[in-house]
Amino acid sequence: MSGHSKWANIRVKKTAQDAKRGKVFTRHARLIEIVARTGGGDVTSNAALRSAIDNAKSESVPNANIERAIKKGTGELKGEAMQEVVYEAYGPAGAAFIIECLTDNKNRTLGNVKNTLAKNGGRFAENGSVMWMFQRAGVIAARSEKLEVKSEKFLEELELELIDKGAEDFEVIDGRIQVVTDSAKWTGVRDFLTSQNFEIESAGLQFIAKQTAPVDAATFDKVHALMNLLEEDDDVSEVHTNAVVA
């Protein structure tokens, strides 16, 4: 486990600095609604809901928005039910894409995503042709002043604790830690970091590329531009690619 690992190209979760605040609020509300529908509105028995709320609060989503999303999920408020939809696609130079969406209208979302891909060197892929290149893993991002000191002893002790809690890898950059876990163990790592007074920025499941596709800098810029365009759509929650700069 080290700062220069196979996970070094994990794409960090976008923040309000690179996305409109309304888009950020909408994405979190939809996630909360979905997990409340599937697991109930009680955070003590629904770990996914607790995490979704924590992630929303880390990006300053108002409590009123959070409570309204929970009520929609549990049926207290009426409205079209949100659904999770995942599309597989290819982008510039054949880079693989996983596009996660949260929508109340699948036809609208499909049309918008397909149109954005077609105009920017991308295309839909057959089911399963891209997914095998990725794995579903837990990813926890957190900050702590302790990391800014860069104490080797502290990092060694932290590494041992993280391994014990189920971490598979981590990297530390500028006072921020990003931990990768088995898909079933991310809550334990999150809770451990919280107990150590780390500020949790995000925690949950993400698609991580198992097989990367090296591309030159110019091509990667095109890949990144396509990712940004896809993420401008309110229905698109996350976009992942296996493209890395050669």
The residue with tokens 């509300």 is 29
Q: What is the pLDDT of residue 32?
A: 93
Shared domain check, 51 and 88? no
Which residue shows structure tokens 């408020």? Answer: 77
Q: Does the structure show a pLDDT above 70 at 156?
A: yes
Q: Identify the CATH number of the domain in which residue 51 sits.
A: 1.10.10.200
- Of the pLDDT bands very low, low, confident and very high (cuts 50, 70, 90), residue 5 is very low
Residue 101: exposure state from Cβ atoms within 10 A (0-12, 13-18, ≥19): buried
In the prediction, which pLDDT does 15 show? Answer: 45
* pLDDT tens string 209-232: 998 999 999 999 999 999 999 999
Answer for the pair 125, 89: CB distance below 8 angstroms, yes or no.
yes
| Residue 175: pLDDT over 50 | yes
Quote the pLDDT of residue 204. 84
Neighbours of 89 (CB within 10 A): 23
204 contacts: CB under 8 Å, gap ≥ 6: 48, 51, 52, 55, 138, 139, 186
- The per-residue pLDDT for 2 is 45
Q: Assess whether 223 and 126 both reside in one domain.
A: yes
Identify whether residues 38 and 150 lie together within a single domain: no
pTM: 0.76
Q: The tokens of 243 are what?
A: 């493209």
Q: How many domains does the chain have?
A: 3
Give me the pLDDT at residue 22, please. Answer: 77
HSE-CB of 87 using CA atoms within 13 angstroms: 27
Q: Which residues, 6+ apart, have CB-to-CB distance to 227 below 8 Å? A: 97, 239, 241
Mean of the pLDDT values across residues 119-123?
Answer: 94
Q: Could you tell me if 139 and 126 lie in one domain?
A: no
Q: Are residues 95 and 200 in the same domain?
A: no
- For residue 6, tell me if it sits in a domain: no
The mean pLDDT of the chain is: 88
What confidence score (pLDDT) does residue 227 get? 95
- Residue 8, pLDDT score: 44
pLDDT in tens, 35-90: 999 999 999 999 889 989 988 888 888 999 999 999 999 998 887 788 899 999 99
With bands split at pLDDT 50, 70 and 90, how would you rate the model's confidence at 20?
low
pLDDT value, residue 129:
95
Residue 7 above 80 pLDDT? no
Residue that wins the pLDDT comparison between 89 and 238: 89
**Nearest 10 degrees: CA dihedral of 140, 137, 208, 58?**
-30
pLDDT computed for residue 6 by the predictor: 47
- 193 with 222, same domain: the answer is no
